[in-house]
Amino acid sequence: MSDDPFAASDAILVAADPETVFAFLDDPANHAAITPGLADVRDVEPLENGGKRLSYTYRMAGMGIDGEIVQTVHDPPERHVFDLRGRLTGTIDLRLAPAEGETELTYAATYGLPENALTRLGAPAIRRFNERQLRAALENVAGRFDDE
C-alpha cells in the first residue's frame, strides 16, 4: 500500500472466468450498480480503443460531484484503466488474472478530491474512505457471480 492517502489497492477472487468478469466490468451501468456513491452514469460514448467516455455523478459527504471518465486502456480480458476528470481526478486500474477457474480482480486507484473535502476530512479519513469504497466495489463484483 502506498503512503499516498489518495491511493488504494485491493484484490478479490471472483467466481467466474476473466472473460465474463471483463465483460461485466465493460458495461458502465454495472459500475453504477457496484460502486458505492456512483449515483449516475450517462452520455456513454464508444472510443476507438474499445473503451468508453462517459459522464457521471458521484455522491460524497452529501455532495453530488459531476465529472467525466475516459477509458484509456481496454485490454480484454486482462485490464481496464480509467481516467477521472473534473472535480474528482485520478486513475482506476482494474486487472484481471485467471486463478484456478476463477478470476483474481485487482483494483488500484489514485484519487484527487475537491479541496473543501480535503480540508474537512484530512488524510487519514480520506485513506479509510477510499479503502472502504474500493473494498465494497470489489465485494459487490464478486457478489454478482456468487450464485452463478
pLDDT (tens digit per residue) in 67-96: 999 999 999 999 999 999 998 889 999 999
Q: Given the DSSP bridges, would you call strands 63-75 and 79-86 parallel, antiparallel or unpaired? A: antiparallel
- Place domain 7-145 in its CATH homologous superfamily: START domain (3.30.530.20)
Residue 2's pLDDT band (boundaries 50, 70, 90)? Answer: very low
Contact between 86 and 70 under an 8 Å Cβ cutoff? The reply is no
Q: Which residues pair with 96 in a beta bridge?
A: 105
Ordered by start, the domain boundaries in the chain are: 7-145
The DSSP code for 90 is E
For the record, the C-alpha cell of 30 comes out as 454495472
Q: What is the pLDDT of residues 3-53, one digit of tens each?
A: 565 788 999 999 999 999 999 999 999 998 899 889 999 999 999 999 999
Name, in order, each residue with C-beta under 8 angstroms of 83's C-beta and a sequence gap of 6 or more.
69, 70, 71, 72, 90, 91
Radius of gyration of the chain (CA): 15
480484454: which residue's cell? 76
8 Å CB contact between 127 and 113 = no
pTM value is 0.88
Please report how many Cα atoms fall inside a 13 Å half-sphere around the Cα of residue 118, on the Cβ side.
9
User: Facing residues of 92 across strands?
Assistant: 82, 109
